[in-house]
Structure 1
């Protein structure tokens, strides 16, 4: 099955009271080059947390925006692509039916799902909603990230087509294991067994198994 896609890229800019971010993206319809570091013209402000080989692209389901608009009616006009800083927007692909390691063909490129998107406090400033990052994480409506297996030319005229599934862990499962469930070594082992899981999530789950506890996420979610 093929999924029509909208494409967005952004450049780094400052935010009052927060650190610089490239979350504000613009739609592009022209052909772009996709490499292992992402789309031509797309930037990341803090490469320790954003971008890199395992986080080259961010995908957010378009159907989630109605849920957010209903949850925050006074800010409903804000909730349309690419408000969450995504590069790719589709209908029909969600955290429930996309799995860690799924491989998609896009144009003449191949991309692979690596992890759920980890919400961070910059979303709070972007939307002027103090805890939207925490609410996003709790809801499971987080989207996901890709690595680029084979670069190439891509565009909004080229749909996404899933060509392989290599694990039994959905993005929703991964998010629930990481953020919604109490410490569970068996579930971390299940997640670590998912082919294609990003290096950063692999380290995090290994550390949890090693130390028998879940790390504090308040700094990522609240900036404190």
Structure 2
């Protein structure tokens, strides 16, 4: 299957009442260079929690936007790509039908799914919805991140093509294991066994297994 893709990049901007962010992205056409750290011209404000080799690209399913618009009719006009700061937007790929470790060909490049996108508090400011990050996380409609395993030239004129599936852990399952289920060592082991899982998620799941408890996510979701 081939999936046509829209492509977006952004620059870091200041947000009143919040920290700088590059969530506001613009659509780009034509050929782009994709490196191991993402699309040339795309920026991330806080490199500790955004970007890096395991989080080089963010993908969000376009079909989710209609659901968000129905949930928030007063802000309906905001819910269109790339409102969640995604680099890639498609129809036909969702958290339920892609898996951790999936490898896609995109133009000259190869990209691999590493983890669900972890919503953060900046979404609350971006949409002026006080709990947007928590609602996104609870819904499972979070999108996902990629590492670049083969850099090269890419463009919106070239579709995504799934070329390898290395695990049976869907992105939806990974999000459920991380955020929706009570402590479950067996499920953490299942997620850790998924080839291609990001270093940060590997570390988090392993820490849960060692400590026997789930970490506090309130700072990520609420900025406190």
TM-score band by shorter chain is: over 0.9
- State the secondary structure of the residue aligned to 2:207: helix
- State the secondary structure of the residue aligned to 2:163: strand
Following TM superposition, by how much is the alpha carbon of 1:158 offset from its aligned partner in structure 2, in angstroms? 0.3
Following TM superposition, by how much is the alpha carbon of 1:175 offset from its aligned partner in structure 2, in angstroms? 0.1
Following TM superposition, by how much is the alpha carbon of 1:159 offset from its aligned partner in structure 2, in angstroms? 0.2
Structure 2 runs not aligned, ≥5 long: none
Question: Corresponding residue for 1:194?
Answer: 194
- State the secondary structure of the residue aligned to 1:200: helix
1:169-199 C-alpha deviation (Å, 9 max, x unpaired) = 0000000000000000000000000000000
Q: TM-score, normalised by structure 1?
A: 1.00
Question: Corresponding residue for 1:211?
Answer: 211
| CA distance in structure 2 between the partners assigned to 1:216 and 1:80 by the alignment | 31
Question: Corresponding residue for 2:5?
Answer: 5
| CA distance in structure 2 between the partners assigned to 1:127 and 1:40 by the alignment | 27
Structure 1 runs not aligned, ≥5 long: none
| CA distance in structure 2 between the partners assigned to 1:134 and 1:35 by the alignment | 31
Question: Corresponding residue for 2:21?
Answer: 21
Question: Corresponding residue for 1:132?
Answer: 132
Q: TM-score, normalised by structure 2?
A: 1.00
1:26-65 C-alpha deviation (Å, 9 max, x unpaired) = 0001110000000010000000000000000000000000
Following TM superposition, by how much is the alpha carbon of 1:202 offset from its aligned partner in structure 2, in angstroms? 0.2
Following TM superposition, by how much is the alpha carbon of 1:75 offset from its aligned partner in structure 2, in angstroms? 0.3
| CA distance in structure 2 between the partners assigned to 1:102 and 1:79 by the alignment | 27
Question: Corresponding residue for 1:159?
Answer: 159
Q: How does 1:53-68 map to 2 (within 5 A)?
A: 53-68=53-68
Question: Corresponding residue for 2:72?
Answer: 72
Question: Corresponding residue for 2:113?
Answer: 113
Q: Which runs of 4+ in 1 moved over 3 A?
A: none
- State the secondary structure of the residue aligned to 2:204: helix
Backbone CA RMSD of aligned residues? 0.3
